[in-house]
């Protein structure tokens, strides 16, 4: 049985959102020398890489990628990052994921970085859904959606054609 999918964002729209969010990150870090783009493993990290590419084109701000690995089935287990604590201490961080759904992945990511003194901490998502269980918000978002709980947002950021769809 085929699953119906409704495209929310096509390739061109996703690229436009990435570019706009990159400008917003730059504007909020204009007085900084460096910003850490901490992408949550898999799609969040792919999204962070695309943001870094755009940020590097529009500014002289040093942007550093960091991969954040969270076990989504067991989020209380240790969060791992590709950077050591000293690399992001007293710096500006943007925690990045593709979809903000219940907020659990972002909240556990935020919790990890709260153990370190930071200059600024922001969050960025491509799709913001309105089903949060936790008090976490996206500072930078591509699109906000009101969806039903049984709908699922899927984001494809690898390959040649990006898309976000509801199924």
Q: C-alpha distances in angstroms, 164 versus 30, 43, 96?
A: 30, 11, 16
SS3 label, residue 113: helix
pLDDT at 2 over 70: no
Task: Tell which residue, 118, 95, 101, has the closest CA to residue 40.
Answer: 95
* 53: confidence class by pLDDT, cuts 50, 70, 90: very high
* C-alpha of 70 from chain center: 13
| pLDDT, tens only, 91-143 | 999 999 999 888 888 888 998 898 899 999 999 999 998 777 778 889 999 99
pTM as predicted = 0.91
Q: What is the pLDDT of residue 3?
A: 56
Q: What is the pLDDT of residue 145?
A: 86
Q: What is the pLDDT of residue 76?
A: 78
Beta strands in 75-119, from DSSP E residues, in sequence order = 80-81, 92-100
Q: What is the pLDDT of residue 147?
A: 74
pLDDT at 1 over 60: no
Q: What is the pLDDT of residue 73?
A: 81
pLDDT at 4 over 80: no
Q: Say if residues 45 and 39 touch (Cβ distance below 8 Å).
A: yes
| pLDDT, tens only, 55-102 | 999 999 999 999 999 987 887 788 999 999 999 999 999 999 999 888
Domain residue spans in the chain?
A: 6-166
Q: What's the CATH number of domain 6-166, 3.90.550.10, 3.40.50.2020, 3.40.50.280, 3.40.50.970?
A: 3.40.50.2020
């Amino acid at each position: 049985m085929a699953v119906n999918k409704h495209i929310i964002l096509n390739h061109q729209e996703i690229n436009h959102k990435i570019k706009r969010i990159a400008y917003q990150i730059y504007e909020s870090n204009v007085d900084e020398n460096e910003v850490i783009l901490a992408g949550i493993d898999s799609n969040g990290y792919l999204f962070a890489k695309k943001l870094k590419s755009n940020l590097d084109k529009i500014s002289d701000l040093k942007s550093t990628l960091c991969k954040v690995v969270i076990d989504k089935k067991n989020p209380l287990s240790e969060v791992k990052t590709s950077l050591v604590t000293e690399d992001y201490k007293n710096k500006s961080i943007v925690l990045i994921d593709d979809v903000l759904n219940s907020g659990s992945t972002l909240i556990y990511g935020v919790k990890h970085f709260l153990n370190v003194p930071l200059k600024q901490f922001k969050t960025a998502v491509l799709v913001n859904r309105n089903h949060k269980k936790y008090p976490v918000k996206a500072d930078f978002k591509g699109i906000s959606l009101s969806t039903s709980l049984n709908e699922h947002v899927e984001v494809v950021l690898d390959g040649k054609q990006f898309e976000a769809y509801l199924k």
